[in-house]
């Protein structure tokens, strides 16, 4: 996938109406500090278009990036950050659920988890949420450069077991540092270019 143009086209807050986009959408979900902005920047081949913060929980909106005037990368609010109030967490949850239920162009959801650890309770809830809304999540196991090569398969097995994921669930290890895994993610995204209706 060659990135020719990228534009942050729409930012939706809690009360915003979701845009009626003409192009397919792929969404990115993950808990705060899992490396979601770093992944999106790596995929868009930009250093800092998706804001990376030392303060987790910064993404409080749904951000739509128009890529190549062909597809949208949709950055969903990070979840599970302890230092925000329960009411704010509930609002973020409503935003994500509303998007999953109402987006007409959503093709798949990439769920990011940290490869170093078992998925959290919030990760499991999000995985189930995505499945209940009719999508088969693609798992991206971030921070690949933080573990030894010999640990990769056992960590993938731990992720799959904790999420109670089906055998068909695709898990792609990814490193924002080395960009390992980026081509595999591009391959998944390219299957949705020019497609009609949810997959």
pLDDT, tens digit, for every residue of 118-170? 999 999 999 998 999 999 999 999 999 999 999 999 999 999 999 999 888 99
Q: Please identify which residue in the block is written with the tokens 């990036």.
A: 65
Q: What is the mean pLDDT of the chain?
A: 88
pLDDT at 195: 55
Q: Residue 59's pLDDT band (boundaries 50, 70, 90)?
A: low
Model-level pTM? 0.90
Q: Please identify which residue in the block is written with the tokens 């062909």.
A: 70
């Amino acid at each position: 996938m060659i990135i020719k143009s990228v534009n942050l086209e729409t930012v939706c807050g809690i009360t915003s109406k979701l845009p009626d986009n003409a192009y397919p959408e792929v969404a990115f979900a993950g808990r705060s500090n899992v490396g979601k902005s770093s992944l999106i920047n790596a995929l868009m081949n930009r250093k800092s278009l998706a804001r990376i913060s030392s303060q987790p929980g910064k993404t409080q909106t749904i951000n739509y990036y128009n890529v190549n005037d062909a597809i949208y990368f949709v950055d969903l609010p990070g979840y599970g950050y302890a230092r925000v109030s329960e009411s704010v967490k509930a609002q973020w949850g409503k935003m994500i659920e509303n998007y999953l239920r109402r987006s007409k162009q959503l093709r798949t959801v990439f769920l990011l988890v940290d490869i170093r650890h078992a998925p959290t309770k919030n990760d499991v809830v999000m995985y189930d949420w995505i499945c209940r809304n009719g999508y088969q999540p693609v798992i991206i196991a971030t921070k690949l450069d933080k573990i030894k090569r010999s640990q990769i398969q056992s960590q993938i097995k731990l992720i799959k077991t904790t999420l109670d994921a089906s055998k068909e669930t695709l898990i792609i290890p990814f490193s924002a540092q080395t960009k390992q895994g980026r081509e595999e993610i591009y391959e998944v995204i390219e299957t949705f270019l020019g497609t009609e209706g949810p997959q």
